[in-house]
Amino acid sequence: MKQITAIIKPFKLDDVRDALNTEGIQGLTVQEVRGAGRQKGHTELYRGAEYSVDFLPKVQIMLVVPDKDLERIIDVICRTAYTGSIGDGKIFISEISQAVRIRTGEKNDEAL
């Protein structure tokens, strides 16, 4: 099993979630996060004062998939989150050694 952690632009969340549902992926965790990267940030005006916004709002999606589905799900996220602009995001993959569904005691792929 693999854990996919994707950091994307907030306005792409609904599109990515819908695409994952279409692919049969229903379980995921979403967090609102802030980050800095090549996008760098920008300056804003608030009550006449200019200030720098160094950490931009992003959304972090975490899901665990069977090994056989990994490349397909990465492709779905990449296609759906893509805008062509700097700051589209990143995807990180981690190995998961075990998963357990608390309610039923199912393990590993069955627990997903």
All structural domains of the chain, each given as residue ranges with its CATH number in brackets, are 2-111 (3.30.70.120)
Residues sharing a CB contact under 8 Å with residue 22, sequence separation 6 or more, in sequence order: none
Is pLDDT above 80 for 104?
yes
Q: Which residues contact 89 (CB under 8 A, 6 or more apart)?
A: 6, 7, 8, 9, 58, 81
pLDDT at residue 53, as a whole number:
66
* pLDDT, position 36: 74
Q: What is the pLDDT of residues 42-100, one digit of tens each?
A: 566 666 766 666 778 899 999 999 999 999 999 999 999 999 988 899 999 999 999 99
What's the pLDDT tens digit per position in 12-39?
999 999 999 999 988 899 999 988 776 6
Q: What is the pLDDT of residue 28?
A: 94
CB 99 within 8 A of CB 1: yes
